[in-house]
Chain A
Amino acid sequence: MVKFLKPNKAVIVLQGRYAGRKAVIVKSFDEGTRDRPYGHCLVAGIKKYPSKVIRKDSAKKTAKKSRVKCFVKLVNYQHLMPTRYTLDVDLKDVVTADVLQTKDKKVAACKATKERFEERFKTGKNRWFFTKLRF
């Protein structure tokens, strides 16, 4: 019996506004907290996927197409579908539990994860994570 809902696991959000989006677990709270007495985790996900970049594109167009829009959210385990993929992007210092308390902290965290996701997308690794899930 191996625990699989660990940090760096890629998951798919199943419910809510971000249903169908891919996310990565940053921190998991298995026992829950006082406010949320159920197993949940802090995820950082993609709100808007980067578009398909072709070789013909100019540098300006490539830069525009590779933009990623992110979200940070606390999600119940029941509303996630775990996958066998992982994404090892270091987000622990950027995305913490207190980020969700004020709006400007959240925006700053989203901007920082956006940069990390974009640089990961540009290297061409973890291609599955940055493709939109078709359904």
Chain B
Amino acid sequence: MVAAKKTKKTHESINNRLALVMKSGKYTLGYKTVLKSLRSSKDERMVEYLYFVVLDGKLIIIANNCPPLRKSEIEYYAMLCKVGVHHYNGNNVDLGTACGKYFRVCCLSIVEPGDSDILKSVPGDH
């Protein structure tokens, strides 16, 4: 009973933190961009030289109904670049709702947390 309550409370807090990131920070949604953000490097570069904005992932969140092969692939990439992965307690419909979107989100990558403290409070469980 106590355990169930505790997960609900932390679950809500993750949702709150995600909402704050959506409002104030930078993020990308979707498998392709998550992998792109994991591949890119951290070096400071001149923005005008680039054709696109460089996104550099700091925390990855994966929904619980993500196909296992895709989940393992994202986890492996995250292991290689030492980025935390958080397994969201909900499926892609819930994760989309938590992001405030009307579509399903299976995985997302947080680039800049903005005002949120999600990077400190959600350490990422490998």
- How many B residues face the partner with a CB closer than 8 A? 20
Among B98-120, those with CB < 8 Å from A are: none
Q: How many whole Å from A5's CB to the nearest CB in chain B?
A: 6
Selected from A4, A31, A32, A39, the residue in CB contact (under 8 A) with B45 is A31
Q: A1 an interface residue at 8 Å Cβ cutoff?
A: yes
Residue from the set B41, B56, B57 with the largest chain A CB neighbour count within 10 Å: B41
Assess whether B39 is in contact with A39, with CB atoms less than 8 Å apart: yes
A30-B40, A30-B41, A39-B39 as given contacts; A4 in contact with B80, CB under 8 Å? yes
Selected from A1, A5, A78, the residue in CB contact (under 8 A) with B82 is A1
A30-B40, A39-B39, A77-B39 as given contacts; A2 in contact with B50, CB under 8 Å? no
Q: B58 an interface residue at 8 Å Cβ cutoff?
A: yes
Name the A residues within 8 Å of B77 (CB-CB): 82
A82-B77, A82-B80, A84-B80 as given contacts; A5 in contact with B49, CB under 8 Å? no
Name the A residues within 8 Å of B73 (CB-CB): 81
Q: How many whole Å from A11's CB to the nearest CB in chain B?
A: 11
Which residue on A lies nearest to B111, using beta carbons?
A: A1
> CB-CB contacts of A16-49 with B at 8 A, as 1s and 0s?
0000000000000011100001010000000000
Q: How many whole Å from B78's CB to the nearest CB in chain A?
A: 10
Q: A3 an interface residue at 8 Å Cβ cutoff?
A: yes
Q: How many whole Å from B72's CB to the nearest CB in chain A?
A: 11
> CB-CB contacts of A88-104 with B at 8 A, as 1s and 0s?
00000000000000000
Task: Give the complex CA separation of A114 and B43 in angstroms.
Answer: 34
Name the B residues within 8 Å of A31 (CB-CB): 45, 49-50
Task: Give the complex CA separation of A1 and B110 in angstroms.
Answer: 12
Assess whether B50 is in contact with A3, with CB atoms less than 8 Å apart: no
Task: Give the complex CA separation of A2 and B42 in angstroms.
Answer: 7
Assess whether B51 is in contact with A37, with CB atoms less than 8 Å apart: yes
Assess whether A1 is in contact with B45, with CB atoms less than 8 Å apart: no
Q: How many whole Å from A47's CB to the nearest CB in chain B?
A: 25
Assess whether B56 is in contact with A1, with CB atoms less than 8 Å apart: yes
Question: Which 5 pairs between the two chains have the least Cβ-Cβ distance?
Answer: A3-B41, A4-B80, A2-B81, A1-B42, A2-B82
Can you sample 12 A-B contacts with CB below 8 Å? Answer: A1-B41, A1-B42, A1-B57, A1-B58, A1-B83, A2-B80, A4-B80, A5-B39, A31-B49, A31-B50, A37-B51, A39-B40
- B-side residues, CB < 8 A to A, are 35, 39-43, 45, 49-51, 56-58, 73, 77, 79-83
